[in-house]
Amino acid sequence: MSIRAAPGPPAASLPRYTGGVTSDARAGRRLTISGRPIITQGLPRRIWQDLYHFCMTVGGARLAAAVAGLFLLFNLLYAALYALQPGDVTNVNPAGYWGLFFFSVETLATVGYGDMHPCTVYGHVVASCEILTGLMALALTTGMIFARFSRPTARFLFARHAVVRPLDGVPTLMLRAANARQNVVMEAQAQLRLIREERTPEGYQIRRIHDLVLRRQAHPIFIFGWNLMHVIDAASPLYGQTEQTLSAARATLLLTVSGTDETTGQTLMARHQYPATALRWNHDFIDILSTGEDGIDRFDYQKFHDVRPLG
């Protein structure tokens, strides 16, 4: 499910939490789910109470800017502390505040060139506090960066459209997925769900989730492509539905694919959401697999998203 978040009125373009703080719960948070704007209220967002989640979900450029900003801020602060009592650091170069600033950079980074060093008790106390701060900051930053880079990512492709076409004489919903990394994903599993608004006989409006049974929901070695099929028979929640009825019910198909990466042993997971407008009725996918005269099979992923009407 593609969820985009932004701290203010315009929704962000990234399908992830992009940061931002509001201390007033009434200010609300704007989300966009499948192109549908939603505003949530009553939950104040305070980054410092969930800093790890913020660091794991914020964009790389914003994270780098935040780390650089904190590094600059800490050094400006400690340079000011050294300047409170002049003469605490010997061989300050350049003289004055900016020399103390560069001494703070060396101390916070535990570089210690040796040219400048504290020469009073006050200077040693401040330097000791700064070294402790630097060690903690280095450990936290290293752990956070490692967690971001070690987090498993699935390079699964999902066709932009799903198609509905007759197959074996029965209307069948077809979706297409592929493994863009083209390594072995063992025991891949797929789950397909229909989410739509319904009204109960009592007149209660509810948003229900229906499980759609797939002809095959497991793939032993997911390497190239995978066509997922759901038979629209009398037992299917899609039975008798049309593009108009699904749009009126704000229906969405949610496809989730997971599996184990044979290379790393980590579990991979990805999901894609199809609004009613993404379904193509009486269409078919253009085949991406062909066999050349040399007998070699070829996959053409340039046609991966292409569909065509049935003749």
Task: Clarify whether residues 114 and 137 are in a common domain.
Answer: yes
Structural domain boundaries enclosing 87: 62-150
Task: Clarify whether residues 75 and 162 are in a common domain.
Answer: no
How many whole angstroms separate alpha carbon 113 and alpha carbon 184? 50
Task: Clarify whether residues 141 and 160 are in a common domain.
Answer: no
Task: Clarify whether residues 182 and 237 are in a common domain.
Answer: yes
Which is more confident, 34 or 122? 122
pLDDT at 32: 67
pLDDT above 80 for 15: no
| Residue 119: both structure tokens together | 């020469």
pLDDT above 80 for 4: no
pLDDT above 90 for 22: no
Task: Quote the pTM value.
Answer: 0.67
**Quick one: average pLDDT of 128-155?**
84
Task: Clarify whether residues 299 and 208 are in a common domain.
Answer: yes
CA dihedral 23, 26, 31, 37 (to 10 degrees): -160
Q: What is the CATH number of the domain that holds 271?
A: 2.60.40.1400
> Which of 91, 116, 150 is the last residue in one of the domains?
150
Task: Clarify whether residues 51 and 76 are in a common domain.
Answer: no
pLDDT at 5: 36
Task: Clarify whether residues 103 and 219 are in a common domain.
Answer: no
The count of domains in the chain is 3
**Quick one: average pLDDT of 166-189?**
92
Task: Clarify whether residues 138 and 31 are in a common domain.
Answer: no
Task: Clarify whether residues 100 and 34 are in a common domain.
Answer: no
Phi, psi of 121 (to 5 degrees): -60, -45
